């Protein structure tokens, strides 16, 4: 079983914080298929958040295919985050590093590089949707 927490000053909507924490637990192997998520009532009482927020997070995770509810029993992990093994990150990292060197060489400062990356990242994820 995992425990949730809410960071009030993070600027991230509380329900998204819960979604992130479940995804993170999946990546870290703290949760795996068949595990039960904490009951909505227990999360609401423990974290002092609105039960509707917990429900919204669980629905979001359900839409992502990561969990599914069994009425009267609870919400169970059904999916895994198919992340590639860390070793396969390396070539991608090297490519990104070469790109960063080119951007710096072109005279972009750190903030411009970050903005360019984030904008491209956002528009490409939107296109995929």
Partner 1 sequence: MTAIIEARGLGKRYGRRQALSDCTLSVPAGRVVGLVGPNGAGKSTLLQLACGMLTPTSGSIEVLGERPASSTAQMARVGFVAQDTPTYAALSIADHLCLGAKLNPRWDAALAERRIQQLGLDPAQRAGRLSGGQRAQLALTLAVAKRPDLLLLDEPVAALDPLARRGFLQSLMEFVAETEATVVLSSHLVSDLERVCDHLIVLAASRVQAVGEIDDLLATHFRLTTARREADSLPAGMQVVQADHTDRQSTFVVRADATVDDPSWVMEPLALEDLVLSYMTRAGAAGADHRPVLETQR
Binding site for partner 1 (CB under 8 A): 6, 8-9, 11, 13-14, 40-41, 44-53
Min dist CB 52 to partner 1, Å, is 5
Min dist CB 77 to partner 1, Å, is 21
Q: Which of helix, strand or coil describes residue 70? A: strand
Tell me whether residue 45 or residue 92 sits nearer to partner 1 (CB atom): 45
Tell me whether residue 24 or residue 50 sits nearer to partner 1 (CB atom): 50
Min dist CB 48 to partner 1, Å, is 4
125: burial class by Cβ within 10 Å (0-12, 13-18, 19+)?
Answer: exposed
Output the DSSP codes for 71-122: TTTEEEE-----PPPGGGHHHHHHHHHHHHHHHHHTT--HHHHHHHHHHHHH
81: burial class by Cβ within 10 Å (0-12, 13-18, 19+)?
Answer: middle
Tell me whether residue 42 or residue 62 sits nearer to partner 1 (CB atom): 42
Min dist CB 107 to partner 1, Å, is 20
Tell me whether residue 17 or residue 25 sits nearer to partner 1 (CB atom): 17
């Amino acid at each position: 079983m995992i425990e949730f927490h809410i960071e009030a000053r993070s600027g991230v909507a509380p329900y998204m914080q819960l979604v992130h924490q479940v995804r993170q637990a999946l990546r870290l192997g703290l949760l795996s298929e068949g595990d039960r998520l904490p009951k909505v009532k227990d999360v609401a009482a423990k974290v002092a958040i609105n039960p509707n927020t917990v429900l919204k997070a669980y629905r979001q995770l359900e839409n992502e295919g990561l969990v599914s509810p069994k009425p009267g029993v609870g919400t169970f992990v059904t999916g895994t985050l198919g992340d590639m093994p860390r070793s396969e990150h390396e070539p991608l990292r090297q490519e990104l590093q070469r790109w960063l060197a080119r951007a710096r060489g072109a005279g972009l400062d750190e903030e411009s590089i970050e903005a360019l990356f984030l904008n491209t990242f956002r528009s490409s994820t939107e296109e995929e949707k």
